[in-house]
Structure 1
Amino acid sequence: MFAKAFRVKSNTAIKGSDRRKLRADVTAAFPTLGTDRVSELIPGKEELNVLKLYAHKGDAVTVYTIGGNPILFELEKNLYPTVYTLWSYPDLLPAFTTWPLVLEKLVGGADLMLPGVVVPPTGLPQVQQGDLCAITLVGNRAPVAIGVAAMSTTQMLASGLKGKGFSVLHTYQDHLWKSGDKSSPPAIAPLAVNPTDSNEEKVDLGLRGHLSSLTLEGEEDRKVHHPEASEDTSSGALSQDSQDGKPLQEQMDELLHQCFLHALKSRVKKADLPLLASTLLGSHMFSCCPEGQQLDIKKSSYKKLSKFLQHMQQEQIVQVKELSKGVESIVAVDWRHPRKGSTLEGSEVRRIVIDYAKRNSLVDADNRNLVKLDPILCDCILEKNEQHSVMRLPWDCLLTRCLQNMQPAYQVTFPGQEPILKKGKLSPIDITLAQKAYNKKVTVVRNLEVYGLDPCSVATTLQQRCQASTIVSPAPGAKDSVQVQIQGNQIHHLGQLLLEEYRLPGKYIQGLEKAPKPGKK
């Protein structure tokens, strides 16, 4: 809002009655401040001025100043603190953290996008869409901007931290800040985290890793077993200890969503609508349940089908109408609704394909190692030039092709929040050596932030440990990503830090083999 110069219409001293009204408005807008701190912010005797101005886009803004420094501004009857005020009261607003390089874009008038938000060890603050929030930089709690949340924390996590996170209203170094004494943000140390929790969670990251089963890149995933020989291990009812130790209720919620979406996609047609809810469950959802699992709505968090359908209606996937008490009908389905979050691991894909082949009698009667391809499987896995020539495929070839045609993704879990799902392959921490002038070498490390590591903190640690200069700069060719550069070949020290202190698995780090050999200068 203040990225460009504004025009001042008037500048007058505030009256006593208006000063009291302003205190009341501040107390109502920021109840956590308390009466004493409101009196500190708006003292009774210091000169308090009110400016009427027009921002460069024409917005009429009221600004309150003390001693020449803007402390508050009002837009459309809403009060907002300036960075000068937030430096005195850094915990006034929920704060989200970004990288120093992003601040330049915010000062230029850009909004804060979610890929630029740093997830702290304690997780993101819980906010709702429209809440006023502060924006800080890594390593310092002093806010450098304020903005309005474009979505709730839950929606941010559900989006995989993509899209616009905050509409930025005011920043350090913008023209509103320049109208004051132009002081810099104070250094306010980050809040301490429980050392035990920090070490455990920063090391492990709750990293479920690659979901590499979607791309057959893990060693275990390369072993595609014959389904007939491994049925006992791939089936079985949901239990408390299955599926990575998830609670039974969470497992049943996932199964319920899976069966519901599968039924809508593959079984329910437009001609079937309106469709009784009981018919949807009995004739379609139960039959979409993976082999060896049993759908039991009473064991889910919804308890009743009607409650689950109401939730799906809120998600705008279906429209539900109550025909009579206790009798509901699906009257409309949004067939184009994006089914986000419905990811599948390799074992689930394998189970679905095997179940489909058996239900449709596609297993070759003469050779049970082969699967006959029906039109659906042909469309899914065959090239155009194979449509009329390939009639059967071995099980391992069929399953491999299915997985290869799926979009790869990976999931990272940070402490205190829902897992973050991102498309593409998980990039390892990349360590390289670069040659500089006068035959000097530097060590460059990228992708630290993907694993929840703060590049600035890593650079500081390495600087002290190696007694060498470090630089944090934008990573070439990578949007919203930074790299750490350390003078000399410091791969040995970097490897010790990542493997021994942060305890990252070696398979997520590439370039460690370039460390100097023992005894070599």
Structure 2
Amino acid sequence: MFKRPFVVKSNTFIRSSDRRALLNRINGYNAETFGKTPFALAVVNLPTGETVNVYTVDKQPIFFELVPQKLMCPTVYIGWLYPKAFPTFFVPEQALVFIRNGADLMLPGVLHSEEHPLPNVEKGDPVFISVRDSANKTVIGPYAVGKTLMSTVDMFLNNMKGKGVHILHLYQDELWAFGNRDSVPSFAAKDVLDVVDKYSESEKVYTNTVDVDLAAEFNTDEVLEAFGIVLDKASIDDTPEEPEDEPESEDELLRRVFLYAVNNKIPADQKYPIDAGQFYASFILKSLPEGRRLDIKKTSWKKFTVFLNDVNSTAGEGNWFVKVSSKKGIDSITELNTKHPEVKSAKSLTPNSSEPRKPASGANGRVDITEQLSITDSSLNALKALIPKCPYRKGDLVTQSNVAKAVLDYITLQCLVKPGGKCQLDDTLSGIMTNFSNGVININDVVQKICGSMTKTYVISTPDGRTITKKTQLQSIEFKVEKRAGNKQVTLVNNLSCFGIDVKEIASKVATGVATGATVNAEAPVCVGPQLLVNGNQINYIAELLQKTYGLNKKYIKGMDLGVKTKKGGRK
């Protein structure tokens, strides 16, 4: 990144408030911790057109920020003062030739053994890269700084192949030359190699910020002394914060909002039935007070339809709140009891300023689909064997990365890691693999064995903020072209409701976009939910609308090949 000279656009001292925000980002110190020594911000333009913020103390660059990604990274100068401040990858001296020539760090070139265990990182974390001189029992560097291209778990899943770290800054580049141009130091191996500890529960996991509790590795007094800064310890406020009031539970919030919505939000001329999902999006979510967020998955009901079927049990003997009917798997509200005493006395909802409101996933008008795994009895037994205090229960949703991390934590804690992404089988792993020999096996094989006993599950975040969970095969949106009276073509679109798409809304968009008629068929055969019918062959337009506006992957759409073929020259 800094291989070629850059242009310094500005170089100014930063204000106290900006300095405080910076220090909170890099290590959580108060601004007063660094006394009154000024910090400077140099905004530099790279030859590639990128803008980078370089933070300096006494003209020494200490951190740089990639502006678009808002990623704060240390310079090699910080690494030379405190080599344990960030996770470190160790490489042999032979790898320096490739790094100097501008190559990224390839995983086959990374040392990973019992003496050099990999640090626990996530994708995009800033890391140091140091050189291991085994002959002299020393560590040289950090020689470079980069950001990880995959997590530690994914590195093992890929059998330590491919690119692991994208190099951002290294010794003798232009950013190094922006400082006092010191030579790269070397450290005794025994003083540095314990930076990457094994994954015990009592040990910390490195993140993309400097850990303030690493007193020995990143000592405050030493940092200040190195940069000529006087520490004003009297200014540090150790007064504990007062505990906040216990927040309202999700169950209580949902019931309170439901009663309020029935009393205040339902129009007098409201027509029934109302789709349960649309009611939740149009009335429940819009009735939430400013500053509150409702997560239906954190309630005891998990689904809004389950709540609707259960809420009448709290209405009192012989009374009710809502009547629900189900047809072809679609739940609808057929009647609401606006005269119930609790409904009529529902209090106005007041905002909670202490809890900022966050938009629900998918509430930006797009569909988000994630493929997860549902825990079964057999997989739960395997996870309990790996995790001492297993937090999972049957039916919980996890990802393959969650399983891989559990496996990796176990084999690291038990010292079972072998080179090449492999591990030694012990009694626990042998029981999981039903292989009772004391051999060596790929770590990925253990992960796949556990995942294979789980149920594949689709979690769909709908455009209106709802979450739909399907443990069966997810039906695709399907296009069909049929001929009607007068030999006129019509386009049929099935199963839009499976993805939480409002068929009436998309019908309006299509009618406006292609200037043709679009109607909704509420009860179409071989279709889940309402069917969209559009005059003419409009498959190309609708498919593009689904992919670009709603964010659907084309693998969930069938029949796109039935659209009008475009001839050469752009004519149809």
Q: Same fold (TM over 0.5)?
A: no
Greater RCO (Cα-Cα under 8 Å, separation 6 or more): 1
TM-score range, shorter chain: 0.3 to 0.5
Structure holding more helix per residue: 1
